[in-house]
Amino acid sequence: MTWYNDHAAHQVRATVTVPEHFNGYPGIVHGGIVAALLDETAGRALMLDGDTEDNLMVTLKLHIKYRRPTPTGQPLALRGWVIRRTARRAKVAAELLLADGTLAAEAEAIVVRPGKEFLDRWEPEKPFWRVYDD
């Protein structure tokens, strides 16, 4: 997936079509995949203003609300934003929307800054953690 900055809305956005092999039931995205999409989107909202390394945090707590089944094989929209943050932790949120704009699932997460040993191992991953301007 690729996430994009929406500076006017203070959000990051992405679109995805989940293939059928990630189903929980025929035609329905597995709840764990929905959770992963929301977790990634909420966390990347911290990168809205630029520097990846200074904004990297990891999930401490994730709360998901599943509002309706999420279909496979159809375009889905994700948006994420920061609720509040300090230098060491943040509260972030994300929504997953169906093609018609209906809310399918939402999440709030508490994320924290990882230790130096984690950041050292993360170095090769940096190129994959970008949020792009439109």
Q: What pLDDT score was predicted for residue 105? A: 98
Q: Tell me the torsion sign for CA atoms 6, 9, 12, 17.
A: negative
Q: What pLDDT score was predicted for residue 51? A: 58
Structural domains in the chain, CATH included, are: 3-124 (3.10.129.10)
Q: What pLDDT score was predicted for residue 122? A: 74
Q: What pLDDT score was predicted for residue 123? A: 73
Q: What pLDDT score was predicted for residue 117? A: 78
Nearest C-alpha neighbor of 105 from the set 19, 44, 36, 48:
36
Q: What pLDDT score was predicted for residue 125? A: 75
Residue 104 near residue 75, CB atoms below 8 Å: no
For residues 20-41, b (16+ Cβ closer than 10 Å) or e, as one string? eeebeeeebbbeebbbebbbbb
Would strands 89-97 and 131-133 be described as parallel, antiparallel, or unpaired?
unpaired
HEC readout, the chain: CCEEEECCCCEEEEEEECCHHHEEECCEECHHHHHHHHHHHHHHHHHCCCCHHHHCCEEEEEEEEECCCCECCCEEEEEEEEEEECCCEEEEEEEEECCCCCEEEEEEEEEECCCHHHHHHHHHHHHHCCEEEC
Instruction: Please report, in tens digits, the pLDDT of each residue of the chain (134 residues total).
Output: 899 999 999 999 999 999 999 999 999 999 999 999 999 999 999 987 665 656 788 899 999 999 999 999 999 999 999 999 998 999 999 999 999 999 999 999 999 988 877 777 877 777 776 777 77
Q: What pLDDT score was predicted for residue 52? A: 61
